Structure 1
């Protein structure tokens, strides 16, 4: 008996992959970078995939549904795409160039047409951000969203989120708008960012998370919000310390006591 014909996977450019993501609601999207990078940032709807979990998905997914895989630069994704193709998945795609070009292509494709309000325009002008670039970087690498979060400008943050500002962006220290909102102590603003899907366990350049910051700076009201949203208290910073070991007050320690063991 002749062997079954191999079904080849296809390589797509970032622009082609972005178009596929928008057009295929049943697409299975996989991120095959290391878990730390995935937790730092990933595409909406992307599932982390490691080699040891491939058999699980091979047995779970319908073989007639599309599968799109991205990695750092478009090399490892080909290896994973071949695995799916070898098991006769009909439509398997690897993204040339990897995560960053694909994320940029998706951002450009979904850029909103709405103009900023007069208040937001004045804010952008005050901080010398270009009026047509919501991802522009200012002092310390802060985007407009980060700057508004740092200042506790909740309505400004809400407008920027509605206009499509990138909640995954990190400043020069590796912090996202969530950390900066915690600095502002505005619990409503923190909740808005959580509701928008911001990464809860982003680790900055010191390996610290927003949860660690709220514990170490005695912000129990924000610590509680983060814990209830699912922030991981077991994450360790680069000094091998968890949030419970950084708690600056009895109130924070009480909230984290169940994580001490």
Structure 2
């Protein structure tokens, strides 16, 4: 092969690899032991509130998810400030960072992500929205914050036909279910 052909092949291979989800070699964000999650579903349409960063880094997305799940507010800020992570990236069952924070009762992280453009209208592969997930563990403050947001469908039903009030009731959070019902949810 000629040098020109070899360079063209290497360039094409590098460009193809850059489009694949997973860690990149040129990341500003350190790797964690949990960098193995999926980063999206090919069947779900893209409905982002904010554009994907120009220099998106799949490793940064993974670290952002981990920090949100752990409730590490300072780490979430640091990652978002790099501009390399997508605030609406998906992992696992289609969960976004703001969903992970809501599920784990980290209201301060939820608030930060919303202020940085997190799309609260997205749903997981199971049809759960952020309100469904906030109701799982019964954190009233997180649920009240989510209820105050535009774009959250309070009467949305997941793939099992449950509303957020149904999820709260099913998890034994009767007062939370009553709160949702008093706010006009079904």
Query: What is the CA–CA distance in structure 2 between the aligned matches of 1:187 and 1:172, rounded to whole Å?
Result: 21
* Alignment check: 8 A CA contact 1:244 1:253 kept: yes
Q: Which residue of 2 aligns with 1:255?
A: 179
Aligned match for 2:121, one of 195, 201, 210: 201
Instruction: Answer yes or no: is 1:153 the counterpart of 2:72.
Output: yes
Deviations 1:66-118 (A, max 9, x none): xxxxxxxxxxxxxxxxxxxxxxxxxxxxxxxxxxxxx6xx633xx3xxxxxxx
Q: 1:260 to 1:183 in 2, by over 3 A?
A: closer
Query: What is the CA–CA distance in structure 1 between the aligned matches of 2:72 and 2:139, rounded to whole Å?
Result: 19
Aligned match for 1:135, one of 48, 54, 58: 58
**Higher relative contact order (Cα pairs below 8 Å, separated by 6+ residues):** 2
Q: Which residue of 1 aligns with 2:153?
A: 232
Task: Give the CA deviation at 1:43.
Answer: 5.6
Task: Give the CA deviation at 1:134.
Answer: 3.8
Q: Which stretches in structure 2 are left out of the alignment for 5+ residues?
A: 1-43
TM-score for both structures, normalised by structure 2: 0.65
Query: What is the CA–CA distance in structure 1 between the aligned matches of 2:57 and 2:155, rounded to whole Å?
Result: 34
Give 4+ residue runs of structure 1 displaced > 4 Å after superposition: none
Give the aligned CA root-mean-square deviation in angstroms.
Answer: 2.2
TM-score for both structures, normalised by structure 1: 0.48
Query: What is the CA–CA distance in structure 2 between the aligned matches of 1:185 and 1:134, rounded to whole Å?
Result: 26
Query: What is the CA–CA distance in structure 2 between the aligned matches of 1:186 and 1:42, rounded to whole Å?
Result: 22
Q: 1:144 to 1:43 in 2, by over 3 A?
A: same
Q: 1:233 to 1:213 in 2, by over 3 A?
A: same
